[in-house]
């Protein structure tokens, strides 16, 4: 029985192979039509060949999103992180000394209501001394950090964005006001719709505080005038 099965299989195998070859030539499969090799051959025959790129040759390729188009009144979050440190040490010392020794050979004096010349010279002796010394030390360390929503108020012809933002916070009698303006390049805006303050050109920040806390440490008008005009 086993030999009979092997004999039948040996006789049917060539017939089955010939039938499979005939079917493959008469009915092309979908996989063959959609293969990259067949597409390149068809494009080469029809002179419509396109360059091979990741976009048409890779299943895992993800294209880059097109740049965002900004419009007027769109909002951008500005992350303000400004730190500054200044140190200065100045010393000035000035000395001045002068001496005067003069003789007036001809001089006049009053005689009643008339002026008459004097006989003999008049001598003048004088000494002038002056000394000025000043010394100043300055050391400052400032840090400003907050975030604020800014609105696009204008778009320049070169695509740069003019932004401006206002923020007011009130807590009981305390009031904080912040204002920012500047110019931003569209490519400097991060995918999360934020931009760092160091990327803002012509940056202007106005931060003010009003209330009892501010009244406790601000200068009075008299000290302001003394510091402004240096009266003493």
Number of folded domains that form the chain: 3
Q: Tell me how far apart the terminal alpha carbons of the chain are, to the nearest angstrom.
A: 129
Closest to 128 in 3D by CA, of 159, 160, 101: 101
Give domain status of residue 66, yes or no. no
Q: Are residues 37 and 95 in the same domain?
A: no
The C-alpha atoms of residue 108 and residue 110 are separated, in whole angstroms, by 7
Q: pLDDT tens digits, the chain, 232 residues: what are they?
A: 556 555 555 666 666 666 666 655 554 444 444 455 555 555 555 555 556 666 666 667 676 677 788 999 999 999 998 887 778 887 877 788 888 777 766 666 667 777 666 666 667 777 878 777 777 787 877 788 889 999 999 999 999 999 999 999 888 888 889 999 999 999 999 989 999 999 999 999 998 888 877 776 677 777 677 767 765 5
Give me the residue label for tokens 């030539």: 25
What tokens does 1 get? 């029985």
153 within 8 A of 183, measured Cβ to Cβ: no
164, 79: one domain: yes
| Tokens of residue 211, six digits | 């209330």
Domain boundary among the residues 96, 118, 138 is at 138
Do residue 45 and residue 117 come from a single domain? no
Structure tokens at 39: 């597409």
- Do residues 113 and 47 make contact, with C-beta atoms less than 8 angstroms apart? no
Q: Are residues 160 and 171 in the same domain?
A: yes
CA–CA separation, 218 vs 161, rounded Å? 37
pLDDT at residue 201 in the model: 94
Asked, for residue 65, whether it belongs to a domain, the answer is no
Whether residue 130 is found in the same domain as residue 149: no
Q: Say yes or no: 51 and 99 in one domain.
A: no
Whether 63 is covered by a domain: the verdict is no
Q: What is the rounded CA–CA span in Å between residue 160 and residue 80? A: 19
In this structure, are 182 and 130 located in the same domain?
no
Asked, for residue 64, whether it belongs to a domain, the answer is: no
Q: What is the pTM of this model?
A: 0.52
- Whether 218 is covered by a domain: the verdict is yes
What is the domain range of residue 220?
A: 75-83+141-229
**179 and 163 co-located in one domain:** yes
Distance CA 58, CA 52 (A): 10
Question: What does the pLDDT read at residue 219?
Answer: 73
* Other CB atoms within 10 A of residue 199 CB: 17
Q: Is residue 69 part of a domain?
A: no
Are residue 146 and residue 223 in the same domain, yes or no? yes
Q: Residue 202 has which token pair?
A: 């012509």
Domain finish residue from 106, 123, 138: 138
27 and 6 in a common domain: yes
Identify whether residues 79 and 162 lie together within a single domain: yes
């Amino acid at each position: 029985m086993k030999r009979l099965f092997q004999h039948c299989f040996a006789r049917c195998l060539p017939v089955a192979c010939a039938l499979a070859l005939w079917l493959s030539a008469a009915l092309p499969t979908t996989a063959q039509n959609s293969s990259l090799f067949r597409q390149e051959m068809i494009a080469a025959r029809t002179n419509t060949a396109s360059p091979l790129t990741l976009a048409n040759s890779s299943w895992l390729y993800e294209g880059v999103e097109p740049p965002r188009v900004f419009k007027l009144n769109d909002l951008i979050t500005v992350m303000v992180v400004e730190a500054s440190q200044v140190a200065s040490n100045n010393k000035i010392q000035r000395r001045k000394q002068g001496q005067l020794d003069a003789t007036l050979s001809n001089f006049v004096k009053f005689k009643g209501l008339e002026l008459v010349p004097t006989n003999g010279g008049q001598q003048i002796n004088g000494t002038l001394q002056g000394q000025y010394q000043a010394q100043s030390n300055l050391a400052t360390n400032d840090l400003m950090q907050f975030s604020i929503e800014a609105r696009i108020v204008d778009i320049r012809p070169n695509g740069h964005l003019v932004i401006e933002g206002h923020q007011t916070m009130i807590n009981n009698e305390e009031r904080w006001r912040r204002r920012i303006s500047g110019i931003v390049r569209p490519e400097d805006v991060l995918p999360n719709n934020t931009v760092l303050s160091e990327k803002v050109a012509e940056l202007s920040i106005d931060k003010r505080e009003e209330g009892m806390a501010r009244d406790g440490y601000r200068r009075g008008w008299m000290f302001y005038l003394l510091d402004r005009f240096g009266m003493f």
